[in-house]
Chain A
Amino acid sequence: GENVEQHPSTLSVQEGDSAVIKCTYSDSASNYFPWYKQELGKRPQLIIDIRSNVGEKKDQRIAVTLNKTAKHFSLHITETQPEDSAVYFCAASSGGSYIPTFGRGTSLIVHP
């Protein structure tokens, strides 16, 4: 089955800095890569996703890149703000599956 590795487990930045979270996946059939943000005790919320037919996608301060050859994808957050502090999960799934495999999560802390 799919295996998703995520790094780092914890990321601490100063407000205004950029943050980068990296994930790798093992199943070359995976073609959908969502990113979720989870605040403490709350539900994960989809913040951005990318499909295998594109290499990069951007939404305001958030961007995701995908390298299919290397089987890795990354989340980039620019101009970080304290409200960006949360746990971020990457995930990978294939075909029309609603069952993504999640990474272990990255706890992002943005210091004011």
Chain B
Amino acid sequence: GAVVSQHPSRVICKSGTSVKIECRSLDFQATTMFWYRQFPKQSLMLMATSNEGSKATYEQGVEKDKFLINHASLTLSTLTVTSAHPEDSSFYICSAGANRDLHFGNGTRLTVT
């Protein structure tokens, strides 16, 4: 089946630094990938839709200059949290569609100290 790999699984960084999260589709090509954010005990909130070879589409309220998305190939999308602050601490999950199903990465637990 379709596998989506996400790295790192956990990251701790200091305020003001940037963190890059990678999302790879291992056995299929994904022209579109999705980035979600999940706060504790809350639902998955779509942040942006990543399109291969073009600019990402951000949901309302998501700062595109803070959450940089690059989708340079059919199998890799990256999310960079720039100038991270403690309030950016969250669980970030990517996903990609294949065969009309949505396949999720394992998620990245980001802690900003």
Report which A residues bind B (CB closer than 8 A): 32, 34, 41-46, 49, 89, 96, 98-100, 102-105, 107
B:40-75 near A, CB below 8 Å: 41-44, 46, 49
The interface of chain B, by Cβ under 8 A from chain A, is: 32, 34, 41-44, 46, 49, 91, 93, 95-97, 100-102, 104-107, 109
A102 B105 Cβ-Cβ under 8 A? no
The answer to whether residues A43 and B42 also contact, given A98-B34, A99-B49, A100-B102 and a CB cut-off of 8 A, is no
Q: How far is the CA of A98 from the CA of B97 in the complex (A)?
A: 6
23 A-B pairs with C-beta separation under 8 A: A32-B100, A34-B102, A41-B109, A43-B104, A44-B44, A44-B104, A45-B104, A46-B102, A49-B101, A89-B44, A96-B100, A98-B32, A98-B97, A98-B102, A99-B46, A99-B49, A100-B102, A102-B44, A103-B43, A104-B43, A105-B42, A105-B43, A107-B41
Whether the Cβ atoms of B91 and A102 lie closer than 8 Å is: no
User: Which residue of chain B lies nearest to A10 when distances are taken between CB atoms in the complex?
Assistant: B41
How long is the Cα–Cα vector from A34 to B97 in the complex, in angstroms? 13
Are A43 and B34 in contact (CB-based, < 8 A)? no
Contact in complex: B41, A43 (CB < 8 Å): no
In the complex, what residues of A have CB within 8 A of residue B102's CB?
34, 46, 98, 100
Interfacial chain B residues near A32, Cβ < 8 Å: 100
Chain B residues with CB below 8 A from A42, complex form? 106-107
Q: Which one, A41, A43, A49, A96, contacts B105 given CB within 8 A?
A: A43
Which B residues are in CB contact (< 8 Å) with A98?
32, 34, 95-97, 100, 102
Q: Which residues of A contact B106 (CB under 8 A)?
A: 42-43
Complex Cα–Cα for A105 and B106 (A)? 18
Min C-beta distance of A106 to chain B, whole Å: 10
Minimum CB–CB distance from A37 to chain B (whole Å) comes to 11
The answer to whether B34 touches A99 (Cβ under 8 A) is yes
Contacts of B41 in A (CB 8 A): 105, 107
Q: Which residues of B contact A45 (CB under 8 A)?
A: 104
| Cβ B104 vs Cβ A104 within 8 A | no
Q: Bound state CA distance, A32 and B46, in angstroms?
A: 18
